[in-house]
Structure 1
Amino acid sequence: MEKYLKIIKDSFTGYFNYLVDEISNPSWTNYFYWLIGLSLLVWVLEILIPWRKNQAVFRKGFWLDSFYILFNFFLFSLVGYNAISNVGVELFNDFLALFGIENLVAIEVQDLPAWSQLLIMFVIADFIQWNVHRQLHRRPWLWKFHKIHHSVKEMGFAAQFRFHFMETIVYKSVQYIPLAMIGFGIQEFFIVHMFAVFIGHLNHANLGWNYGIFGYLLNNPKMHIWHHSKKLPKDRPYGMNYGLSLSIWDYLFGTAYIPKNGKNIELGFEGDENFPEGFGKQLAYPFQHKQTTTQKKFNKIRNHENKTI
């Protein structure tokens, strides 16, 4: 027990010192300034070449999403996620040690060229995220958390960051074992993560891009807008276009859907007019929410279809 308490203490102080160092000592691998730089770059593109020209620069929800950036990528880890995840990793390693297993590395990639390591990590991580994203829509208890992201009514780059902190826990927990089986360095992870953040910025941005033929490989604004559509096709009650960075998974597994230009479609979900708009109320929503008659009916359809899949 003393070991785990020390991990918690070291995690809090370590992450606090990390944040201070990130802000006070800019470098080429500085996540804080890369995030700010990429955000400003995509925001400038939105201002110069907006897809929806009547949408305000400071769109509806802009400041809320900006605070989600601060919370989800910095404050959440300081509040406790970093400590909890470090304890979780240590507990998992101690569990493996009971069976004489020192680590889960099954595939050695350290001797491969750097570019191939980056590509392998990116593809594996994105495929896992695509599957997790599908479950966020298919499982009622996960959908309650994911609703926060879909409460966005006007799309812009910062909308990427409006999500409940439980999504971080779900994504990272599911990713841990597969990625732990492959050895990657911190620098490689940073590069892959920042590229994914950039693609995510563009997907949610007020930009009318689809990348031409490369749109079948990379997710893009004209594809992702349909993922946020309030009105869902009858044959797609869970939604569509689940790709985070890559769109290829949706085309391969039949979840791609771009019926027409989605420039002015209504965004959100059924019943979102009663969804809380404040940060605190949104975080509390999944834990307090009681299903409405409409949601019960929707979940009944989902559960029935789950049994037939």
Structure 2
Amino acid sequence: MEKYIDIIKNSYSGYWNYLKHELISINHWDNYFYGLIFISFAVWILEIAFPWRKQQAIFRKDFWLDTFYMFFNFFILNLIVLIALSNTAATFFNDMLQNLGLTLSNLRLFNASDLPKWLGLFILFIVNDFVQWNTHRLLHRLPLLWNFHKVHHSIKEMGFAAHLRYHWMEPVVYNSLRYIPLALMANYSSQDVAIVHFFNIIIGHLNHANLGWNYGIFKYIFNNPKMHIWHHAKQLPKHARYGVNFGLTLSIWDYLFKTAHVPYNGKDIELGFEGDESFPKDFISQELYPLNKK
């Protein structure tokens, strides 16, 4: 038990020092803090220059709430719970393997450093996105998880910052379900992870942005604003009561597994979910909503 307490303490102090370093150091390309600001500002400029919904205000409904969510979920949440929880869970998992006479290195499918760089990154990206696609489906299908996911679907006007409006429990679920698949792929560097992560952020921001892009033929591979807006539609098709278009970065999973749905130009469809009129409007109440929901 003392070992796990030390891990939690070290996680807090280590991430706090990392966060301070990110704030004062801008001389490395994989700086998550300034990288997020740069990507967000760039996509916002695109929204202003090429708005899909021209009547939508530049500072749309809940713009500042979503901006707060963006920085809270991307940085503060890690400090509060995610890093400590992840490190503790990883150690617990490794301890369980050792009790069985196994180690994680014995179970790994391959060593990323033995592969060409592009192939290693491609495998990391594909496996990560597929696990997240399946996890996203669970968030819609299981009532307990759906109550957490409602925070994201309470968005009434789409914009880049809406990408990171989600309840703090969501990354706990995502990270828990993708830990083992990703742990079986060894020796990815922090730069490798940063490349995949920044690419996912860019596509995620674009998916939620007030842009009418569908990337041409690549719409069948990458998620896009014209597809993702139907995922947020308040009125779901009768054949898909749990939702459609679950892709995060890639749309190909939805086309392969028959969950794609883009019936027509959805520029002006109503967003939300049934009963969202009574859903809380402020950050604290939204975070507490699942705990108060029977």
TM-score bracket, normalised by the shorter chain, equals: over 0.9
* Counterpart position of 1:251: 255
AA in 1 matched with 2:282? G
* Counterpart position of 1:242: 246
AA in 2 matched with 1:125? N
Structure 1 segment 272-283 matched on structure 2, within 5 A = 272-283=276-287
Count of residue pairs brought into register by the alignment: 290
| Greater alpha carbon shift after TM alignment, 101-110 vs 268-277 | 101-110
CA distance in 2: counterparts of 1:2 and 1:254, whole angstroms: 49
Which sections of structure 1, spanning at least 5 residues, go unmatched? 291-309
CA distance in 2: counterparts of 1:237 and 1:80, whole angstroms: 33
CA distance in 2: counterparts of 1:92 and 1:124, whole angstroms: 20
* Counterpart position of 2:49: 48
CA distance in 2: counterparts of 1:79 and 1:132, whole angstroms: 23
* Counterpart position of 2:103: 102
Shift >4 Å, 4+ stretches = none
* Counterpart position of 2:228: 224
* Counterpart position of 1:179: 182
AA in 1 matched with 2:238? K
* Counterpart position of 1:306: none
* Counterpart position of 2:61: 60
* Counterpart position of 2:170: 167
AA in 2 matched with 1:48? A
AA in 2 matched with 1:63? W
CA distance in 1: counterparts of 2:4 and 2:279, whole angstroms: 39
TM-score (norm 2): 0.97
Structure 1 segment 107-126 matched on structure 2, within 5 A = 107-126=110-129
* Counterpart position of 1:188: 192
* Counterpart position of 1:203: 207
CA distance in 2: counterparts of 1:135 and 1:74, whole angstroms: 25
Tell me by how many angstroms 1:110 deviates: 1.6
CA distance in 2: counterparts of 1:121 and 1:274, whole angstroms: 40
Tell me by how many angstroms 1:259 deviates: 0.3
CA distance in 1: counterparts of 2:101 and 2:74, whole angstroms: 36
Tell me by how many angstroms 1:226 deviates: 0.3
AA in 2 matched with 1:16? W
Tell me by how many angstroms 1:71 deviates: 1.0
* Counterpart position of 1:32: 33
* Counterpart position of 2:6: 6
CA distance in 2: counterparts of 1:206 and 1:121, whole angstroms: 29
CA distance in 2: counterparts of 1:272 and 1:215, whole angstroms: 30
CA distance in 2: counterparts of 1:252 and 1:81, whole angstroms: 32
Match of 1:152 among 151, 155, 158: 155
Match of 2:267 among 263, 267, 276: 263
Instruction: Find out whether 1:136 has 2:139 as its counterpart.
Output: yes
Q: Deviation per CA, 1:102-141, whole angstroms, max 9, x where unpaired?
A: 2141222321111111111101110111100111111111
The residue matched to 2:223 in structure 1 has which SS? coil
CA distance in 1: counterparts of 2:48 and 2:101, whole angstroms: 57
AA in 2 matched with 1:209? W
CA distance in 2: counterparts of 1:2 and 1:128, whole angstroms: 33
Cα RMSD for the two superposed structures:
0.8
State percent identity of aligned pairs: 59
Tell me by how many angstroms 1:241 deviates: 0.3
AA in 2 matched with 1:13? S
CA distance in 2: counterparts of 1:267 and 1:187, whole angstroms: 37
CA distance in 2: counterparts of 1:22 and 1:109, whole angstroms: 27
Tell me by how many angstroms 1:178 deviates: 0.5
TM-score (norm 1): 0.93
Q: Deviation per CA, 1:281-301, whole angstroms, max 9, x where unpaired?
A: 0000011013xxxxxxxxxxx
CA distance in 2: counterparts of 1:10 and 1:39, whole angstroms: 31
CA distance in 2: counterparts of 1:234 and 1:62, whole angstroms: 31
* Counterpart position of 2:71: 70
CA distance in 2: counterparts of 1:124 and 1:5, whole angstroms: 32
Q: Deviation per CA, 1:198-250, whole angstroms, max 9, x where unpaired?
A: 00000000000001100000000000000000001111101100000000000
CA distance in 2: counterparts of 1:49 and 1:84, whole angstroms: 41
